[in-house]
Amino acid sequence: MLFCVSAEDRVPAEDRVPAEDRVPAVIRVPAVIRVPAEDRVPAADRVPEERLLSVRTEFVNRVSEPVLNQLLDELLQREVITDNELQSIRSVRVPADRARDVIDTVRGKGREASSVLIAALCEVDPLLYRQLNLS
């Protein structure tokens, strides 16, 4: 899969590691720790609830309040959450706690709800979606 990288997301040339100084990945990860390729589960093949759980901490740390509000609107519109759940989540004062509530509430509703949140995040904030490696 190929993505275009915007100018602001590129690493400046002066901060890049010269090719001769790079350490190959096979040297960095000891063989006893590596998972054989045939046993690896690509993110797209894991169930949506597991995908959300695996990115929960990063989602909480990275999601902005405007994006979180847009996600809540999408979840309400797609009937993943109720009006009461929306009001309950919005009443939480700490943004990180609101983000936790969103991801935990949706994960608790299962595969379809989790898929809706992942799709909504892709639409609302494609950069965060890619940073969380949900593609």
CA 36/CA 88 separation, integer angstroms: 44
d(CA 14, CA 121): 33
Q: How confident is the model at residue 87 (pLDDT cuts 50, 70, 90)?
A: very high
Indicate the pTM of the whole model: 0.67
Domains (ranges, CATH) in the chain? 42-135 (1.10.533.10)
pLDDT at 43: 53
Band the pLDDT of 21: cuts 50, 70, 90. Answer: low
CA torsion angle for 12, 13, 19, 24 (degrees, to 10)? 0
Rounded distance between C-alpha atoms, residue 106 and residue 120, angstroms: 12
Residue 9: is it exposed, middle or buried by C-beta count within 10 angstroms (0-12/13-18/19+)?
A: exposed
Tens digit of each residue's pLDDT (9 = 90 or more) over 22-80: 655 555 555 555 556 555 545 555 789 999 999 999 999 999 999 999 999 999 999 99
